[in-house]
Amino acid sequence: MQHIWPIPTYLVNAIFRTHKMWPQPAKSGRENGQRRDSPSITTAPGKLLRPSAPSGMSMIELLTVIAILAIAGAVAVPSLIDWRHGMRLRAAANEIRNDFELARMRAVRENTDVTVQFDPAAGRYQVTYNDENGNPVLVKSHSLPPSVQIATGNSAYTLDSYGDRATFGSRGTASPGTLVIANSKGATLQIVISFLGRVDLRN
């Protein structure tokens, strides 16, 4: 009888480790008891990764969103237009007030009268004075925006008493009066000049 030599223990352990490290052939879905065309994928013991539902927006949802945007636009656009007209009116009023202040400072510096002459029909005005030789000096000429007019028909407008002008003296005083401007929406602002040369902007 042939003698069988025992296999050393270290050799058995080496073969076992080699078998664990060697890549195993992947099992098919049929061998795992799962159909090949099944959409579920095993990610962890006891858990399945299900395919997500198709994303997108239906026609009804799209039409609903469009209708909501149309309604919001119909409400917001008129308010936006009024806001723009109001901003232009206030910007024009601030410009005129600053030019009144400019005329007052120039009158004190040049020691002479400085006049802000308005042309309501043309929607413009000029800041001028006469030098020591009596020659007219143009300090500034400015036109109002197309949507802003000088409201000579407003009851608060009083510059017509002075020929649609405001005059500032060398001591900082002025011919008192009120200039009224309006926009195409009917909103108005008043620029009020006091005898002491103070200029205020009022609604």
Q: Model confidence over 12-59: pLDDT tens digits?
A: 455 545 545 445 555 554 545 445 454 444 555 555 555 555 556 688
Query: Which one-letter amino acid corresponds to residue 139?
Result: V
Q: What is the pLDDT of residues 189-198, one digit of tens each?
A: 999 999 999 9
Residue spans of the domains in the chain: they are 69-202
Strand partners, 129: 114, 137
Query: Which DSSP string corresponds to 126-163?
Result: EEEEE-TTS-EEEEEEEE--TTEEE-TTSTT--GGGGT
- Using one digit for the tens of pLDDT, what is the confidence trace for 133-144? 999 999 999 999
pLDDT of residue 108: 96
pLDDT of residue 22: 46
Give the amino acid at 132: E
Tens digits of per-residue pLDDT, 104-140? 999 999 999 999 999 999 999 999 999 999 999 999 9
- Looking at the DSSP bridge assignments, the partners of residue 200 are 192
- Mean pLDDT, rounded, for 61-84: 76
CA 90 from chain centre, in angstroms, equals 18
Q: What is the mean pLDDT of the chain?
A: 81
Confidence of residue 177 (pLDDT cuts 50, 70, 90): very high
Mean pLDDT of 82-97: 92
The pLDDT of residue 168 is above 90: yes
What is the pLDDT averaged over residues 171-182? Answer: 96
Question: Class of the 69-202 domain?
Answer: alpha beta
* DSSP conformation letters of 11-46: HHHHHHHHHHHSPPPPPPTTTTT--TT---EEEETT
- Residue pair 140/151 in contact (Cβ under 8 Å)? The answer is no
User: What percent of the chain clears pLDDT 90, i.e. is strictly above it?
Assistant: 55
- Determine if the pTM surpasses 0.95: no
The Cα–Cα gap between 55 and 192 comes to 64
Mean pLDDT of 84-100: 95
